[in-house]
Amino acid sequence: MKGREGILGVHTRKIPLCDDVNVPVLARGTAGFSGADLASLVNEAALYAARCNQKTVRMLDFEFAKDKVLMGSERRSMIISDAEKRITAVHEAGHALLTVLLPHADPIHKVTIIPRGMALGLTQQLPVDEKHNYSREYLDDQIAILLGGRIAEEITSGSVTTGAGNDLERATELGRRMVCEWGMSDAMGPLTFGKKEEQIFLGREIAQHQDYSEDTAIKIDQEVKRIVMQNYERSREILIAEKVNLQKVAEELLVREVLDAEQVRRIAAGQALEQYTRPTVQPAAAGVDEDEARRRKERLPIMGPVPPLQKPLPAD
């Protein structure tokens, strides 16, 4: 983090910062960013501020820039088959519906099947307030939401795809941290397991260093699996019960491409949506209206099905 703070310090020196900009907080919120990413971040923020005729760059501008760097731009031109679009809609509908139905989840902000960066769709949540710590109930619900995409595919089509890979990885990671870092497994007790090994020159943590016995490793695996599976079952029961609404969200997504929080909540409540009129022109990236400002506060959304980039499928 110190490294990122230093790099941000260098890049922000030349631009007029608003008083609300807190470089250490920025550094903390950009874990995993490379030096080049941080340079882009500052640059995008400055450009955005300029475009909005601001004299200084505010924290809000940095949040906007972070989203763009993290997720890439929207890619409306990406060619996706109808079959894949349908799967994506179902997948996102699974995430979206659960954010409405689970009691401790951050509420939904928006769900879309317009591809952005590498993702075919996105479900964005909006925290009620700035959280610094997370309760066990919140984490359980978040795991359930992450698994919701895969489950939605299963219960509507009976099949599954590689698209949920990233969701499963994040759910597993959350489960593992509940057990190993946050003492949230009664079987393991209020101890922590594994030492973080930081790779010093690169300023990022590489991997947990295993400092426990195989016996402990087995118990950790069992507890992580138990946590993920319990949330999987919970999520599955909800989505099966709500299958009609799940399919309705997916259908509306195929028609409208984007649903906002209100629309998802209305479908979940069994209410009809207003008539949809396909816009004649796609709105360009406009000025900073109220909604935009709010959107900028959003954190890293749940990405929809992500093509397995890093290792191309051996043969097709």
Is the Cβ–Cβ distance between 204 and 35 less than 8 Å?
Answer: no
Residues 149-168 that bind a copy of itself (CB under 8 A): 150, 159-165, 168
Residues forming a β-bridge with 208: 196
Nearer to a copy of itself, 68 or 150 (CB): 150
212 scored as a contact of a copy of itself (CB under 8 A) = yes
Is the Cβ–Cβ distance between 92 and 149 less than 8 Å?
Answer: yes
Residues 25-44 that bind a copy of itself (CB under 8 A): 28-29, 31, 34, 36
Is the Cβ–Cβ distance between 236 and 155 less than 8 Å?
Answer: yes
CB of 13 to a copy of itself, least distance (A): 17
Among 54, 56, 225, 273, binds a copy of itself (CB under 8 A): 225
Residue 12 neighbours by CB distance under 10 Å: 20
287 scored as a contact of a copy of itself (CB under 8 A) = no
Nearer to a copy of itself, 22 or 51 (CB): 22
Here the tokens at position 148 are: 């919701």
CB of 272 to a copy of itself, least distance (A): 30
Cβ contacts of residue 250 below 8 Å, gap of 6+?
86, 89, 90, 92, 93, 152, 156
- Over its C-alpha atoms, the chain yields an Rg (Å, rounded) of 21
Among 213, 275, 277, 282, binds a copy of itself (CB under 8 A): 213
CB of 300 to a copy of itself, least distance (A): 6
CB of 277 to a copy of itself, least distance (A): 29
Q: Which contiguous run of DSSP H or E holds residue 151?
A: helix 136-157
Cβ contacts of residue 205 below 8 Å, gap of 6+?
196, 197, 198, 199
CB of 244 to a copy of itself, least distance (A): 24
Nearer to a copy of itself, 146 or 249 (CB): 146
Q: How many residues bind a copy of itself (CB under 8 A)?
A: 100
Stretch that binds a copy of itself, among 9-17, 218-226, 259-267, 272-280 (CB under 8 A): 218-226
Catalytic residues: 92
Here the tokens at position 50 are: 């300029």
Compute φ and ψ for 28, nearest 5 degrees: -65, -35
103 scored as a contact of a copy of itself (CB under 8 A) = no
d(CA 40, CA 19): 21
Nearer to a copy of itself, 207 or 241 (CB): 207
Stretch that binds a copy of itself, among 46-54, 216-224, 256-264, 280-288 (CB under 8 A): 216-224
d(CA 80, CA 114): 10
Residues 167-206 that bind a copy of itself (CB under 8 A): 168-175, 177, 181-184, 189-193, 195-197, 200, 202, 205-206
- Rounded to 10°, the helix 243-256/136-157 angle is 80
Residues 54-83 that bind a copy of itself (CB under 8 A): 79-81, 83
